[in-house]
């Protein structure tokens, strides 16, 4: 007898789901039976990402959207319901960086990062809360960061946005718990993505020296944890921040 995939019949939305960690999360959820909606601003990457999910036997839809705009976030929810009739899982993964020392950090770069990383997550949560409450079931996972827990020089805007997601997670978890909706955050450390690939070898070795497990993480390392938090097995876990950082934050 074949076990039923644990996300069979579930519909999952992954913002920023075409690249890097978001793509790994979307692929993992799809491989376990979820129907996927991925969002992003890069149409070519979206088409390539959803094409890969379909080629692997999954089902999904790509929606071009800027989650920092309320109407776009609402449209993602509307298109999800139109396509699949329900929305079970929301992974707020979309994020940007605009790094600089605080005394040189422009107001524009501050706003850009906070608008996408923190406000965008709020707007998507607000949009998807209503259908989840009607279903009396839902999983929301917000992508924070190890630097949101530790701080990092040159990233005041990014750190503030990721620390803000921790507070947002805990507040919303308390609001939605009575409707069987869990809200958690994942705080990745340094992960092998396009952003870390451009770092020099010396920088990479210095990073590894700060990590007790002695390596950078992979997008799949993060996807494993997100999949658990989205599952029935994590039904008694809410308001938590789970670090996936090789022990860096200890």
16 sits in the region (left: phi over 0; alpha: psi -120 to 50; else beta) called: left
Q: What are φ and ψ of residue 177, in 5° steps?
A: -60, -35
Cα–Cα distance for residue pair 185/226, rounded to 1 Å: 9
**Strand 35-40's sheet: what is its strand order?**
59-64, 35-40, 11-15, 89-92, 138-143, 181-188, 241-244
DSSP label at residue 179: G
Count helices and strands in the chain by DSSP H and E runs: 10, 7
- Among the options 84, 110, 158, 190, which is catalytic? 158
- CA dihedral over 124, 127, 128, 133, signed as positive or negative: positive
Count Cα neighbours of 150 within 13 Å in the Cβ-side half-sphere.
17
Cα–Cα distance for residue pair 63/171, rounded to 1 Å: 28
The answer to whether 165 and 117 are in contact (CB under 8 A) is yes
Q: Which two tokens stand for residue 131?
A: 């259908």
158 is a catalytic site residue: yes
- The residues annotated as belonging to the active site are 158
């Amino acid at each position: 007898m074949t076990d039923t995939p644990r996300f069979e019949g579930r519909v999952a939305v992954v913002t920023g789901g075409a690249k890097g960690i978001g793509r790994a999360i979307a692929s993992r959820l799809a491989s376990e039976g979820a129907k996927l909606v991925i969002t992003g601003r890069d149409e070519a990457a979206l088409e390539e990402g959803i094409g890969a999910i379909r080629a692997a036997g999954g089902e999904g839809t790509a929606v071009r959207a800027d989650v920092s705009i309320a109407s776009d976030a609402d449209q993602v929810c509307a298109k999800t319901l139109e396509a699949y009739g329900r929305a079970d899982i929301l992974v707020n993964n979309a994020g940007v960086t605009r790094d600089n020392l605080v005394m040189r950090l422009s107001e524009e770069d501050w706003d850009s990062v906070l608008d996408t990383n923190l406000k965008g997550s709020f707007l998507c949560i607000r949009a998807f809360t209503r259908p989840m409450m009607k279903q009396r079931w839902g999983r929301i996972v917000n992508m924070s960061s190890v630097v949101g827990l530790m701080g990092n020089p040159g990233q005041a805007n990014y750190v503030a946005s990721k620390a803000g997601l921790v507070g947002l997670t805990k507040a919303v978890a308390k609001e939605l718990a009575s409707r069987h909706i869990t809200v958690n955050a994942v705080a990745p450390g340094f992960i092998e993505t396009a952003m870390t690939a451009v770092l020099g070898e010396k920088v990479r070795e210095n990073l590894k020296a700060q990590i007790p497990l002695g390596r950078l993480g992979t997008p799949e390392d993060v996807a494993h944890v997100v999949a658990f938090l989205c599952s029935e097995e994590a039904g008694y876990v809410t308001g938590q921040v789970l670090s996936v950082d090789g022990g860096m934050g200890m």
